[in-house]
């Protein structure tokens, strides 16, 4: 089958993308940005994408059925989104984990990530690096299903589509998973990830087509750091968080991770094999939660646990007052 069958029609070159974004940033700072970047002129051999002259950004992608981890058809393996403070990416394969790109600069970085080697971002550079080891976990703020004391990822999905939207103050990624099979259930599932300019926090809105238990988010458990928990004053919102030396790049770098959730939407908290998990109640209506990574090397960033707790308590108070961030 032709590769074009699996790609959205709106292609634009990396050069054009850089020029467009630089023009936008010249007018105002801070910013937000989202992208997914694929190769289109190579060919599939089994589940690897061979050849292709360059990666091109697309506004819409129908994921190739051959795609899996390390297929080499998608730059940094999935969509990415960033603000002037932090960047994230989602592994668009069976893992479905969300990773953190720590930024040492407040400028745009994603269009450059992975251009000089498929996984070059694991090495520290002037802009920063991939700082989170998701491993067998879900990373931060992604989705899995917890059933029979097992965390189930996206191993079986009939079709996956991705849409990208960039606005002046907010950028979004919309993902639709058709035929997600876990345990004895098959459902359709949507995920919308949004980031605002000048924010570390990602808003994640999810919706399942059927009422099934065990839909979960959470934080990958690393270095045996203690879990931090708190509820808002009105008890409508709460968070789980971790803080400490838990990055890929250093034994001493401090990284904070937090997930904010609406208490009425949650059934319980569970310790999975690799993650601190938040299990949602069965529902077919939309459910919105928030997550953030806070790295000490971020430009003018948060460098200690006390200030991290002040930051996430401030955001919890904002949710307590406004029901949104």
Res 20: pLDDT: 46
Q: What is the mean pLDDT for each group of 10 consecutive residues in the chain (325 residues)?
A: 33 43 55 96 94 93 96 95 98 98 96 80 86 96 97 98 96 98 97 98 98 98 96 96 95 96 98 98 98 96 97 97 94
Predicted confidence at residue 22, as pLDDT, reads 52
The whole-number pLDDT of residue 15 equals 46
pLDDT, position 10: 33
CA pseudo-torsion sign 104, 123, 292, 156: positive
pLDDT at residue 122, as a whole number: 72
- Measured CA to CA in angstroms, residue 33 lies from 22, 54, 87, 166 at distances of 11, 21, 9, 6
Q: Model-level pTM?
A: 0.91
Q: Which domains does the chain show, CATH number per domain?
A: 3-322 (2.70.98)
Structure tokens at 257: 């991770």
Around Cβ 262, how many Cβ atoms within 10 Å? 17
Q: What is the pLDDT of residue 5?
A: 32
DSSP-assigned letter for residue 7? B
């Amino acid at each position: 089958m032709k590769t074009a069958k699996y790609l959205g029609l709106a292609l634009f070159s990396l050069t054009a993308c850089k020029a467009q974004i630089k023009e936008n940033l010249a007018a105002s700072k801070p910013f937000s940005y989202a992208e997914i970047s694929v190769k289109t002129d190579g060919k599939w051999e089994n589940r690897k994408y061979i050849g292709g002259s360059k990666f091109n950004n697309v506004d819409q992608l129908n994921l190739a059925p051959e795609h899996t981890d390390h297929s080499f058809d998608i730059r940094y393996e999935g969509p990415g989104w960033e603000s002037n403070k932090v960047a994230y990416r989602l592994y668009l394969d069976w893992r479905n984990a969300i990773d953190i790109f720590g930024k040492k600069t407040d400028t745009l970085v994603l269009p450059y990530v992975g251009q000089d080697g498929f996984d070059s971002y694991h090495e520290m550079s002037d802009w920063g690096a991939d700082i989170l080891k998701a491993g067998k976990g879900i990373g931060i703020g992604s989705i899995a299903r917890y059933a029979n004391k097992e965390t189930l990822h996206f191993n079986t999905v009939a079709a996956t589509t991705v849409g990208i939207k960039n606005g002046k103050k907010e950028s979004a990624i919309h993902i639709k998973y058709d035929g997600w099979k876990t345990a004895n259930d098959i459902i359709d599932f949507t995920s919308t990830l949004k980031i605002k300019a000048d924010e570390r926090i990602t808003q994640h809105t999810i919706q399942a087509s059927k009422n099934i238990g065990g839909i979960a988010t959470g934080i990958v458990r690393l270095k045996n750091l203690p879990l931090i928990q708190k509820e808002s004053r009105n008890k409508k919102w709460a968070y789980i968080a971790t803080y400490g030396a838990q990055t890929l790049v250093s034994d001493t770098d401090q990284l904070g991770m937090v997930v904010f959730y609406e208490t009425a939407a949650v059934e319980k908290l569970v310790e999975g094999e690799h993650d601190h998990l938040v299990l949602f109640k069965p529902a077919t209506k939309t459910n919105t939660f928030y997550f953030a990574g806070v790295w000490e090397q971020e430009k003018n960033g948060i460098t200690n646990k006390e200030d991290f707790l002040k930051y996430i308590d401030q955001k919890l108070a904002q949710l307590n007052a406004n029901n949104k961030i």
